[in-house]
Amino acid sequence: MKDFKLYAITGETFHPGRSLVDVMEQAILGGVDIVQLRDKSSARAELLEKARALRELTRRYGVTFIVNDHIELAMEVDADGVHLGQDDLPLVEARKLVGDKIIGISTHAIEEALLAESQGADYLGVGPVFPTTTKADVVDPVTVAYVREVAERIRIPFVAIGGIKLHNVDEVIAAGASRICAVSEIVGSDDVKGTCEAFLKKLNG
Protein backbone atom coordinates (compact mmCIF):
# COMPACT_ATOMS: atom_id res chain seq x y z
CA MET A 1 0.00 0.00 0.00
CA LYS A 2 1.03 3.62 -0.48
CA ASP A 3 2.41 5.15 2.66
CA PHE A 4 0.26 7.70 4.43
CA LYS A 5 0.23 10.21 7.28
CA LEU A 6 -3.34 11.37 7.82
CA TYR A 7 -6.30 8.98 7.91
CA ALA A 8 -9.90 10.21 8.16
CA ILE A 9 -12.93 8.12 9.09
CA THR A 10 -16.47 9.14 8.28
CA GLY A 11 -18.74 10.22 11.13
CA GLU A 12 -21.90 11.79 9.81
CA THR A 13 -23.35 12.49 13.26
CA PHE A 14 -20.60 15.10 13.69
CA HIS A 15 -21.59 17.21 10.68
CA PRO A 16 -25.39 17.51 10.52
CA GLY A 17 -26.53 19.53 7.55
CA ARG A 18 -23.37 18.87 5.54
CA SER A 19 -23.11 16.07 3.01
CA LEU A 20 -20.77 13.12 3.50
CA VAL A 21 -19.04 13.67 0.16
CA ASP A 22 -18.56 17.42 0.70
CA VAL A 23 -16.98 16.90 4.12
CA MET A 24 -14.68 14.12 2.97
CA GLU A 25 -13.67 16.14 -0.10
CA GLN A 26 -12.60 18.97 2.20
CA ALA A 27 -10.57 16.46 4.21
CA ILE A 28 -8.86 15.24 1.04
CA LEU A 29 -8.15 18.82 -0.03
CA GLY A 30 -6.57 19.30 3.40
CA GLY A 31 -4.17 16.42 2.78
CA VAL A 32 -5.88 13.24 4.00
CA ASP A 33 -4.28 10.16 2.40
CA ILE A 34 -6.87 7.54 3.40
CA VAL A 35 -10.65 7.77 3.74
CA GLN A 36 -12.52 5.05 5.59
CA LEU A 37 -16.27 4.56 5.40
CA ARG A 38 -17.43 3.52 8.86
CA ASP A 39 -21.19 3.33 9.24
CA LYS A 40 -22.72 1.00 11.81
CA SER A 41 -26.35 1.99 11.37
CA SER A 42 -27.36 2.47 7.71
CA ALA A 43 -29.27 -0.16 5.76
CA ARG A 44 -27.27 -1.94 3.10
CA ALA A 45 -28.74 -0.04 0.16
CA GLU A 46 -27.84 3.28 1.75
CA LEU A 47 -24.40 2.00 2.71
CA LEU A 48 -23.78 0.90 -0.86
CA GLU A 49 -24.76 4.34 -2.14
CA LYS A 50 -22.31 6.01 0.26
CA ALA A 51 -19.55 3.57 -0.63
CA ARG A 52 -20.00 4.21 -4.35
CA ALA A 53 -19.95 7.97 -3.84
CA LEU A 54 -16.78 7.83 -1.74
CA ARG A 55 -15.14 5.41 -4.15
CA GLU A 56 -15.75 7.88 -6.97
CA LEU A 57 -14.45 10.79 -4.87
CA THR A 58 -11.29 9.04 -3.67
CA ARG A 59 -10.52 7.72 -7.13
CA ARG A 60 -10.79 11.24 -8.55
CA TYR A 61 -8.18 12.47 -6.07
CA GLY A 62 -6.00 9.37 -6.02
CA VAL A 63 -6.69 8.72 -2.34
CA THR A 64 -6.92 5.27 -0.75
CA PHE A 65 -10.47 4.14 0.11
CA ILE A 66 -11.11 1.66 2.92
CA VAL A 67 -14.43 0.15 4.02
CA ASN A 68 -14.90 -0.78 7.68
CA ASP A 69 -16.19 -4.31 8.39
CA HIS A 70 -18.16 -4.90 5.19
CA ILE A 71 -15.90 -7.07 3.02
CA GLU A 72 -18.59 -7.89 0.46
CA LEU A 73 -19.44 -4.21 0.06
CA ALA A 74 -15.77 -3.30 -0.30
CA MET A 75 -15.39 -5.82 -3.09
CA GLU A 76 -18.57 -4.66 -4.80
CA VAL A 77 -17.41 -1.04 -5.08
CA ASP A 78 -13.75 -1.99 -5.69
CA ALA A 79 -12.50 -0.28 -2.53
CA ASP A 80 -8.76 -0.42 -1.97
CA GLY A 81 -9.23 -2.46 1.16
CA VAL A 82 -11.04 -3.22 4.39
CA HIS A 83 -10.51 -2.47 8.07
CA LEU A 84 -11.41 -5.14 10.60
CA GLY A 85 -11.75 -5.20 14.36
CA GLN A 86 -10.76 -7.95 16.78
CA ASP A 87 -14.29 -9.39 16.70
CA ASP A 88 -14.70 -9.34 12.92
CA LEU A 89 -13.76 -12.04 10.42
CA PRO A 90 -10.24 -13.34 11.18
CA LEU A 91 -7.51 -11.84 9.03
CA VAL A 92 -6.55 -15.17 7.45
CA GLU A 93 -10.14 -15.75 6.32
CA ALA A 94 -10.51 -12.16 5.12
CA ARG A 95 -7.36 -12.48 3.02
CA LYS A 96 -8.94 -15.36 1.09
CA LEU A 97 -11.84 -13.07 0.18
CA VAL A 98 -10.02 -9.83 -0.66
CA GLY A 99 -6.85 -11.16 -2.30
CA ASP A 100 -4.17 -8.51 -2.45
CA LYS A 101 -6.38 -5.65 -1.30
CA ILE A 102 -5.35 -3.77 1.84
CA ILE A 103 -6.33 -5.20 5.20
CA GLY A 104 -6.05 -3.04 8.31
CA ILE A 105 -6.56 -4.49 11.78
CA SER A 106 -7.57 -2.66 14.97
CA THR A 107 -5.34 -3.58 17.91
CA HIS A 108 -5.45 -2.71 21.59
CA ALA A 109 -2.51 -4.75 22.93
CA ILE A 110 0.92 -5.74 21.68
CA GLU A 111 -0.07 -9.42 21.40
CA GLU A 112 -2.82 -8.47 18.94
CA ALA A 113 -0.40 -6.28 17.00
CA LEU A 114 2.26 -9.00 16.73
CA LEU A 115 -0.32 -11.57 15.62
CA ALA A 116 -1.80 -9.28 12.96
CA GLU A 117 1.67 -8.46 11.66
CA SER A 118 2.62 -12.15 11.47
CA GLN A 119 -0.62 -12.98 9.64
CA GLY A 120 0.01 -10.40 6.93
CA ALA A 121 -1.92 -7.28 7.92
CA ASP A 122 -0.99 -4.30 5.75
CA TYR A 123 -1.32 -1.80 8.58
CA LEU A 124 -2.52 -1.64 12.17
CA GLY A 125 -4.88 0.66 14.00
CA VAL A 126 -3.42 1.41 17.44
CA GLY A 127 -5.86 2.71 19.99
CA PRO A 128 -7.96 4.17 21.33
CA VAL A 129 -5.09 6.30 22.58
CA PHE A 130 -7.37 8.65 24.54
CA PRO A 131 -11.01 8.35 25.68
CA THR A 132 -13.39 8.62 22.74
CA THR A 133 -17.15 8.62 22.20
CA THR A 134 -16.96 8.12 18.43
CA LYS A 135 -17.94 4.46 18.72
CA ALA A 136 -20.47 2.87 21.07
CA ASP A 137 -18.43 -0.31 21.66
CA VAL A 138 -15.12 1.40 22.35
CA VAL A 139 -12.56 -0.26 24.61
CA ASP A 140 -10.62 1.46 27.40
CA PRO A 141 -7.86 3.83 26.27
CA VAL A 142 -4.53 2.14 25.55
CA THR A 143 -2.60 5.39 26.26
CA VAL A 144 0.56 6.56 24.53
CA ALA A 145 2.47 3.74 26.27
CA TYR A 146 0.98 1.29 23.75
CA VAL A 147 1.83 3.61 20.86
CA ARG A 148 5.43 3.65 22.10
CA GLU A 149 5.50 -0.15 22.37
CA VAL A 150 4.18 -0.63 18.85
CA ALA A 151 6.65 1.92 17.47
CA GLU A 152 9.48 -0.08 19.03
CA ARG A 153 8.34 -3.59 18.11
CA ILE A 154 6.20 -3.51 14.97
CA ARG A 155 7.67 -3.14 11.49
CA ILE A 156 4.54 -2.62 9.37
CA PRO A 157 2.78 0.77 9.20
CA PHE A 158 0.50 1.67 12.08
CA VAL A 159 -1.92 4.51 12.64
CA ALA A 160 -2.69 5.92 16.09
CA ILE A 161 -6.41 6.48 16.64
CA GLY A 162 -8.90 7.37 19.35
CA GLY A 163 -9.58 10.74 20.89
CA ILE A 164 -6.75 12.38 18.96
CA LYS A 165 -7.16 16.16 18.70
CA LEU A 166 -4.95 19.01 17.61
CA HIS A 167 -4.26 19.82 21.28
CA ASN A 168 -2.94 16.32 22.15
CA VAL A 169 -1.48 14.97 18.91
CA ASP A 170 2.04 16.15 19.81
CA GLU A 171 2.03 13.64 22.68
CA VAL A 172 1.15 10.84 20.24
CA ILE A 173 3.84 11.88 17.77
CA ALA A 174 6.39 12.05 20.59
CA ALA A 175 5.52 8.42 21.46
CA GLY A 176 6.57 7.32 17.97
CA ALA A 177 3.48 7.65 15.79
CA SER A 178 4.12 9.05 12.31
CA ARG A 179 0.56 8.38 11.09
CA ILE A 180 -2.60 9.45 12.85
CA CYS A 181 -6.33 9.03 12.40
CA ALA A 182 -9.05 11.36 13.60
CA VAL A 183 -12.81 11.28 13.27
CA SER A 184 -14.70 14.00 15.15
CA GLU A 185 -11.80 16.46 15.20
CA ILE A 186 -11.74 16.39 11.39
CA VAL A 187 -15.30 15.80 10.21
CA GLY A 188 -16.87 17.83 13.02
CA SER A 189 -14.64 20.82 12.38
CA ASP A 190 -16.01 24.12 11.05
CA ASP A 191 -12.91 24.15 8.84
CA VAL A 192 -12.27 20.55 7.80
CA LYS A 193 -9.54 21.42 5.30
CA GLY A 194 -7.76 23.73 7.75
CA THR A 195 -7.88 21.13 10.53
CA CYS A 196 -6.30 18.51 8.27
CA GLU A 197 -3.59 20.96 7.24
CA ALA A 198 -2.91 21.70 10.92
CA PHE A 199 -2.54 17.98 11.70
CA LEU A 200 -0.13 17.55 8.81
CA LYS A 201 1.94 20.51 9.91
CA LYS A 202 2.42 18.80 13.26
CA LEU A 203 3.13 15.41 11.65
CA ASN A 204 5.70 16.96 9.32
CA GLY A 205 7.36 18.62 12.30
Residues acting as catalytic residues: 38, 106, 135
Helices 20-29, 192-203: inter-axial angle, 10-degree rounding: 40
DSSP state of 2: -
CB atoms within 10 A of CB 114: 15
What is the C-alpha radius of gyration for the chain, rounded to an integer number of angstroms? 16
How many other CB atoms are there within 10 angstroms of residue 169's CB atom? 20
Q: Using CA atoms, how far apart are residues 92 and 71, in angstroms rounded to an integer?
A: 13
Is 62 buried (19+), middle (13-18) or exposed (0-12) by CB count in 10 A?
exposed
Residue 150 near residue 124 (C-beta atoms within 8 A): yes
